[in-house]
Chains A and B, each alone.
Chain A
Amino acid sequence: MAAKNISITVKIWRQANETAKGCLGTYALKEISTDMSFLEMLDVLNEQLTLEGKEPVVFDHDCREGICGTCGAVVDGIAHGPEQGTTLCQLHMRHFKDGQVICIEPFRAKAFPLVRDLMVDRSAFDRIIQAGGFVSINAGSAPDANTVAVPQQQAEQAMDAAACIGCGACVASCPNAAAMLFTSAKISQLALMPQGRPERKRRALSMVAAMDEEGFGNCSNHRECEQVCPKKISIRHIARMNREYLAAALFGE
């Protein structure tokens, strides 16, 4: 598809800090190439705002190739925008029409305090990971192939769980602001592998406790998280997390 230029209007959430009153700012953009990524469109807007002597829109970004989990915003009500299985940085302007009005908001959740504009503090995820602790097996050097036998199906499932980039779209989309898709992906990844077995009970208990402590809600099977997840993590992992948690709580360490 050949690139063309479109004119769009963006309505972006502007908020100076966590306690300030926020509002939607409306900005007109002309000659946006359909080959641009969504973040490049925001770069153009920020350059335009800077040249006009106005403050640019604050947003998080890093790798811009869909693997780091740093970017993210709610675009027209959908975390990471209308393309499924795609991070915001990998969403392209060719999916938008000339003259379209696009509404851009931050990932909202009690456990994700707003920093500024579209940037939220997702360090709660880091603390859940920290609560997971260590694995006691020697992970220092790559073992020879097949010295640790892993059934193919489990290896595949663990790999699917490991695809989680921790962006927080699941939390932003959940009506309960639950972090269960994220936490379950991390718990599953290790519980499915022999290397993660020794600490699996302690890990399930402490990561779920950390998740609750941070103020995230619980899963009520709306499956919104699965719909927006840029890595298409399945809620089957939530079921596995619940089993891991139940087994650990009932039978102890």
Chain B
Amino acid sequence: MARNKDGLTKALAEIPAIREEFYANVYIPGTGQELNQSLERAGRVADFLEFAEVMVLDALERKESCGCHLREESQTEEHEAKRDDVHYSHVTVWEHRGVGQPPLLHQEPLEFEAVTPSQRSYK
């Protein structure tokens, strides 16, 4: 799986439309007063549609390649994931501020004492 700026930007533009379509067309039989598996599943889809947007936003923000997050723009000459620890050695937490509102970025720097991150090599 590879990601790039164009693809992620396109996804970020499409997700709100899919979410709006979901809320406009969703039909949930029954009520919330009793066990309702349809309601449970609709709730999950709604969660996924919010979560997908945050994931895409985070993938777009992290311009380095790291772990299974491979940004096509950031690769070594041998097409392996190229890290950028100068700019991205941190954990990102996105604060939800309401559906459709841009989430707030929080960063917590990663400090390595015993080992230092290095370029992955299978050779």
Contact = CB atoms under 8 A, between A and B. Distances in A.
Interface in B15-39: 27, 29-30, 34-35, 37-38
Given A16-B34, A49-B29, 18 more contacts: A17-B34, A17-B35, A50-B27, A50-B29, A50-B38, A53-B27, A53-B29, A54-B29, A55-B29, A55-B30, A55-B38, A56-B29, A56-B37, A56-B38, A58-B35, A58-B37, A115-B35, A116-B34
A53 B38 CA distance: 12
A119 interface: yes
Interface in A35-92: 49-50, 53-56, 58
A58 B69 CA distance: 38
Query: Among B35, B37, B38, which residue has the most Cβ atoms of chain A within 10 A?
Result: B37
Contacts of B35: 17, 58, 115-116, 119
Contacts, number: 22
A16 B36 CA distance: 10
Shortest 10 CB-CB distances between A and B: which pairs? A116-B35, A55-B29, A55-B30, A58-B37, A50-B29, A115-B35, A56-B38, A58-B35, A17-B34, A16-B34
Interface of A: 16-17, 49-50, 53-56, 58, 115-116, 119
A56 B37 CA distance: 8
22 contacts: A16-B34, A17-B34, A17-B35, A49-B29, A50-B27, A50-B29, A50-B38, A53-B27, A53-B29, A54-B29, A55-B29, A55-B30, A55-B38, A56-B29, A56-B37, A56-B38, A58-B35, A58-B37, A115-B35, A116-B34, A116-B35, A119-B35
B69 to A, nearest CB: 29
Nearest to B31: A55
Contacts of B38: 50, 55-56
Interface string B81-92: 000000000000
A56 B30 CA distance: 9
A55 B29 CA distance: 5
Output the residue of B27, B29, B38 with the most chain A CB within 10 A. B29
B86 to A, nearest CB: 39
A138 B27 CA distance: 52
Contacts of A116: 34-35
Contacts of B37: 56, 58
Interface in B81-117: none
A17 B31 CA distance: 13
Contacts of A56: 29, 37-38
